[in-house]
Amino acid sequence: PRYRYERVPGEQRMRIPGPVQAPPMGPRPTGNGGYRTNTTRVERVTTIKQDDGGAPYQPGAPVPGNGSPQQQQQQQHHDHQGSTSHTPPGRHRHPRTPRRTPAGSPGGYVSPDRGREKRRQLPAFCFTLCCILFWLAVVVVGVAVLTVYLYYRPQPPKLRVTDASLNAGYVDELTVPGGPARGLALNADLTVLVAITSPNTKVKMVLWYMQLDLYFEGHRIGTSTVLPAPLFEEPRTYALRTVDFVVSEAPLSREDAIAWRNGTVAGGPVKLKLVGKFHTQLNFGRWLPYKYWVYPRCTLWMDPPPNGGLVRARC
């Protein structure tokens, strides 16, 4: 049959005059000059399982959903009587059908991936909480330190050279008894009067250890300890200390020896440097001490010995 098309507004639909059926199949050739026909009867097979409340299909048995409405109603009534005849009174038998419960509701099925995600979320939450607490502690400590600093205004001790005297100084050959000369050496005697000042206004200071080193042309030629120690200083106070440096056979290079001779012979000045090393403690109240090291520096310009006085000092 030919099909006739009609135009429907907005779309095109195909109208078929009758139900579509497969064309009938005739006899098929067998290959040996004859024909064969299919006379085998195909039984209906059902896929209903015993767990779903059904039974395997049996030939001749009525199939649910087929037949007239009266036959279906009779079959349902018969099944209901058969099910209630074997059920204890007060209890009803219901077909076991799978129920789907939302994953978030209690008693629902939880997939392994969801459980794995929950186990991963706990360490991540703990790590985030630790980071937050750590940074909060850092902020609190920083604010406390800033508050203490702004209130007390702590400052390190100051070193100032009040007076100095170069009593002796000359360059000699560095020798070993019974051996040849092994280079040049410096011998000198220097006395320095220093003032150690506490510039703080609200903090008490304690100097547990004080040491001064003497340098010439960048090389250390002597060291001395400042006594007595420890030194307790109140705010806005100072203490005077006299330090003696006795330099004996300090090795010098030829360039340093020439610089010393030029300074002393030409009438000066001789340039020396003092470097301090103070172990300082600042007391912020009774229960908050703070200890640290301070390294003050001073540069001295001296007249030539034997009566070398202090020309200028810068600390």
Q: What is the pLDDT of residues 17-61, one digit of tens each?
A: 555 565 555 566 665 555 555 555 655 555 555 554 555 555 555
Identify whether 275 is part of a domain.
yes
Identify whether 269 is part of a domain.
yes
Portion of the chain with pLDDT greater than 70, in percent: 61
Last residue of a domain, one of 135, 155, 175: 155
Is residue 76 pLDDT above 80, yes or no?
Answer: no
Q: What is the DSSP letter of 44?
A: P
Q: Domain residues for 171?
A: 158-314
Indicate whether 138 and 273 sit together in one domain: no
Indicate whether 168 and 247 sit together in one domain: yes
Indicate whether 135 and 252 sit together in one domain: no
Q: What is the DSSP letter of 50?
A: T
Buried b (16+ CB within 10 A) or exposed e, 53-92: eeeeeeeeeeeeeeeeeeeeeebeeeeeeeeeeeeeeeee
For residue 306, whether the previous peptide bond is cis, meaning omega lies within 30 degrees of 0, is: yes
Is residue 6 pLDDT above 70, yes or no?
Answer: no
Q: Give the pLDDT confidence of 87-110 residue by residue, as tens digits.
A: 455 455 555 555 555 555 455 555
Indicate whether 166 and 310 sit together in one domain: yes
Indicate whether 136 and 216 sit together in one domain: no
Identify whether 278 is part of a domain.
yes
Identify whether 79 is part of a domain.
no
What type of residue sits at position 168?
A
Identify whether 241 is part of a domain.
yes
Average pLDDT over residues 278-292: 90
Which whole-number Å values give the CA distances from 247 to 174, 191, 216, in the listed order? 13, 11, 11
Indicate whether 219 and 148 sit together in one domain: no
Query: Which parts of the chain are beta strand (E)?
Result: 4-8, 11-15, 28-29, 35-36, 158-175, 181-197, 204-216, 219-225, 231-233, 238-252, 270-283, 289-294, 297-302, 308-314
Last residue of a domain, one of 137, 155, 173: 155
Identify whether 119 is part of a domain.
no
Indicate whether 276 and 136 sit together in one domain: no
Identify whether 20 is part of a domain.
no
Buried b (16+ CB within 10 A) or exposed e, 271-309: bbebbbbbbbebebeeeeeeeeeeebebebbbbbbeebe
| Domains held by the chain: number | 2
Last residue of a domain, one of 136, 155, 174: 155
Indicate whether 307 and 171 sit together in one domain: yes
Confidence category of residue 244, pLDDT binned at 50, 70, 90:
very high
Distance CA 268, CA 264 (A): 5
* The pLDDT value given to residue 271: 93
Confidence category of residue 263, pLDDT binned at 50, 70, 90:
confident
Longest dimension (CA), the chain: 148
Indicate whether 200 and 167 sit together in one domain: yes
Indicate whether 187 and 139 sit together in one domain: no
Identify whether 139 is part of a domain.
yes
Q: Give the pLDDT confidence of 117-165 residue by residue, as tens digits.
A: 777 788 888 999 999 999 999 999 999 989 988 988 999 999 999 999 9
Q: Give the pLDDT confidence of 186-217 residue by residue, as tens digits.
A: 999 999 999 999 999 999 999 999 999 999 99
Distance CA 39, CA 41 (A): 6
* The pLDDT value given to residue 175: 72
User: Tell me, what CATH number does 227's domain have?
Assistant: 2.60.40
